[in-house]
Amino acid sequence: MRFERLAIPAFGPFTDVAIELPSGGADFHLVYGPNEAGKSSLLRAIRDLLYGIHGQTPDNFLHDYKALRIAATLCRRDGERLAVQRRKGNRGTLLDAAGAPLPDDALAPFLGAVDREYFTTMFGLDAAALRSGAAALLHGQGDLGQALFSASLAGTPVHRILDALDAEARRLFDGRARTSVTIRPAVDDYEEHLRASGVADRSLWGPEFEFYIFDHVAYEYGINRAYYEIFSAEADWNSAQGGHGHYIPPHGGYHAIPPKDALYKLRSEISSMRFPHPVEELRQGDVYRF
């Protein structure tokens, strides 16, 4: 989708402003100006046109709420065009060029999967958002980190992919649920076939531990040095200190079983807990209780 024309009859500092954005050549348009020229207001106008004017918008300092109006002509990749206007209100705020109401989802074919939050993060970053998102970017977290990762996914908002994967995972397995899931009923059928065939009376299933427990962890990161150190009584490098490492050699198994794994019961208890989802949101206190 691209803008062919943007008109702002009344919004923020603008009155009867129109910007033509013709295609051709590189099709790159640069809007620039000094501080307080209205660049951020123009960005808000574009966002509010597409997703609605905020109920408590600060852009009424020149025009009354009822007079606020933004308009544009949009064009899709397939050539379909739509001239729209946006007024402030609670419902029926999207209008056609003549001022007649349009369905609330009239812009859906032009916006696709891009919602307001994603648009703001991916296409509408201002100076304040860049500063506040710097830490999130460095850690690959937050809306900014997600948006940059989304760019590698053909623009699909990554949080929607995560939601879809979470829903798919819950269709496979959801704790002790036996309805609307796949794995647990399959296990029940498998055990029934075991009993019916006479191969076994029951089968035992345990959690797959995707974490390790250390007795001590230390690290340091300085201007001239960096190191980390972990200690576990079950590690092979502690065998000479009276630990249990001699039971579990390097690469000796994905996970050991009792009595080699002295923390098996603790792992089982942690695995049975209902942590916040996704795992990245796990609070330290949920583990420190143990």
Q: Which residue has the higher pLDDT, 198 or 86?
A: 86
Cβ neighbors of 271 (< 8 A, separation 6 or more) are 207, 209
Render the burial of 236-260: b for 16+ CB within 10 Å, e for the rest: bebbeeebbbeebeeeeeeebeeee
The SS3 call for residue 236 is helix
Cβ count near 93 (within 10 Å): 17
The SS3 call for residue 85 is strand
Give pLDDT, residue 288.
42
pLDDT tops 50 at residue 83: yes
Least confident interval from 42-46, 160-164, 242-246, 278-282 = 278-282
The answer to whether the peptide bond before residue 259 is cis (omega within 30 degrees of 0) is yes
Tell me which residue of 166, 164, 10, 187 sits closest to 87, measured CA to CA: 10
pLDDT digits (tens, 9 = 90+) for 194-210: 889 988 887 777 656 66
CB 217 within 8 A of CB 207: no
Give pLDDT, residue 29.
86
pLDDT digits (tens, 9 = 90+) for 37-69: 888 899 999 999 999 998 889 899 999 999 999
User: Which residues of the chain form beta strands (DSSP E)?
Assistant: 2-11, 14-20, 69-75, 81-87, 94-96, 216-221, 226-231
Domains of the chain, earliest start first: 2-112 (3.40.50.300), 216-288 (no CATH)
Give pLDDT, residue 69.
96
pTM to 2 decimals? 0.49
Rounded CA-CA distance 8/69 in Å is 6
